[in-house]
Amino acid sequence: MTGIRNQESLLRPAGYGGQAGVSRTSIAVGSCRLLSIALGLLLAVPAFAQQNATTELTDKAAEAIDKGLKHLLQMQRADGSWAAGDEGERAMAITSLSLMAFMSKAQFPGSGPNGDALNRAKDWLLKQAEDAPDGYLGATMYEHGLATLALTELWGMTRDKEEDDQIQKAIEAAVAVILRSQTNGGGWRYQPVTSGGQDTSVTVMVFIGLASARQAGIMVPNETITKVVAYFESATSHKTGGFNYIPRGKKNNDSIACTGGGAYAAQLAGARGSEMVLSALRFLTERSPGIITGDFGSYYYGHYYAIHAMVQAGDAYYAKWYPQIRDALIKKQDASGAWGAGKNTKGNKAVSYETPMAIIILATPYRYIPIYQR
């Protein structure tokens, strides 16, 4: 698999070796990201040509991605955002995911045929950051994690130095919120307070945003990473090997979504190859193909994490998993180009979070976004 950056060396906590990330200027980050995109384009295209009929992108998958992106363009709101309803419901989360969907195909603000639309989305996201003096983005820490992720992956990809500095400032403020709201148990919950409890769903999304920021050069203490690894260890079910929604809660509160997310995030935290991660991967693979061809609660959310857990685990896992979820998602796309369009949406410009997540999953072979590389 094509991977430009070594995530593991940047993200290992104390005890796993390695050092904390160090701050860079946005110019250096931009150069690195542009190099990543350029090398990805050079290295990935021949691989697709050779593997088109096996484990990589098929013509049908490419068509499904393009159809999904076209749907998102049609559903973009006048202010540049995407939302689950005409009142702007979940706009922070869905706009962040939609930007990531376009970036998954190397489409960025200010360039290409959709550059203007993506510029408006980027401007909307930055406006929300400007209007958040405490750095908190969205209504929940889940939205905050997604916004942090989108901003970090945008960092260095704009053509305006002043705008790039603005993105950097927003990321630093968002990371500060994450760091100060981590609980003693190592996780996060829905609000940015240390006393609000913790759960695996929110912890995973918040940490992925943090991991992306650290990978890009934002300083994150090793202690923070060590604590989140301890959290994941506490959330592992000794009975099944899956991840529980609430650590040490009910015996049967593990789930596909939390297991996929826990496996992905734990690997980003430097625990790749640990028994905790290997047991989670077994949990997922033993339930395949049922959880891929069938359905379960939080299907798209779960598979968004699961495919990236398989990428991090290596070619043997990925080569078996991706073709199955690829073909399943192609079948689930509706005539409008959307996925899950009837769920959690209300209004003429309503977008389900399932649509950008499905696009990101299908676009996995492109390897354009650093956090989705191994």
2 domain residue, yes or no: no
Domain span including residue 254: 7-372
pLDDT at 17: 28
Degrees (nearest 5) of the Cα angle 349, 205, 340?
35
CATH of the domain at 359: 1.50.10.20
> What integer pLDDT is reported at residue 111 of this predicted model?
87
Specify the DSSP class assigned to residue 276: H
Q: Which helix (H) or strand (E) segment is 34 a member of?
A: helix 26-51
**Domain-located, residue 165:** yes
Number of domains in the chain: 1
- pLDDT at position 56, please? 84
What pLDDT does 162 receive? 86
Residue 78 CA to residue 107 CA, distance in Å, equals: 20
Measured at the CA of 164, the angle between CA 105 and CA 135, to 5 degrees, comes to 100
Q: Say what the pLDDT of residue 52 is.
A: 38
The residue among 181, 100, 111 whose CA lies nearest residue 147 is: 100
Question: How confident is the model at residue 295, as a pLDDT?
Answer: 85
Strand extents, DSSP E, 201-308: 243-244, 254-255
In a domain, 1, yes or no: no
pLDDT for the residue numbered 344? 60
Q: The whole model's pTM is what? A: 0.87
Tens place of pLDDT per residue across the chain (374 aa): 333 233 333 332 323 223 233 333 333 444 445 444 444 444 344 343 334 334 589 999 999 999 999 999 999 999 999 999 988 999 999 999 999 999 999 999 998 899 999 999 999 999 999 999 899 999 999 999 999 999 999 998 877 888 999 999 999 999 999 999 999 999 999 999 999 899 999 999 999 999 999 999 999 999 999 999 999 999 999 889 999 999 876 666 889 999 999 999 999 999 999 999 999 999 999 999 999 999 888 999 999 999 999 999 999 999 999 999 999 999 999 999 999 876 666 778 889 999 999 999 999 999 999 999 98
How would DSSP label each residue in 140-159? SHHHHHHHHHHHHHHTT-SS
Measured in degrees and rounded to the nearest 5, phi and psi for residue 216 equal -80, -10
- Asked if residue 307 belongs to a domain, the reply is yes
- Dihedrals φ, ψ of 357, to 5°? -65, -40
Q: What length is written for the chain?
A: 374
For 268, which DSSP code? I
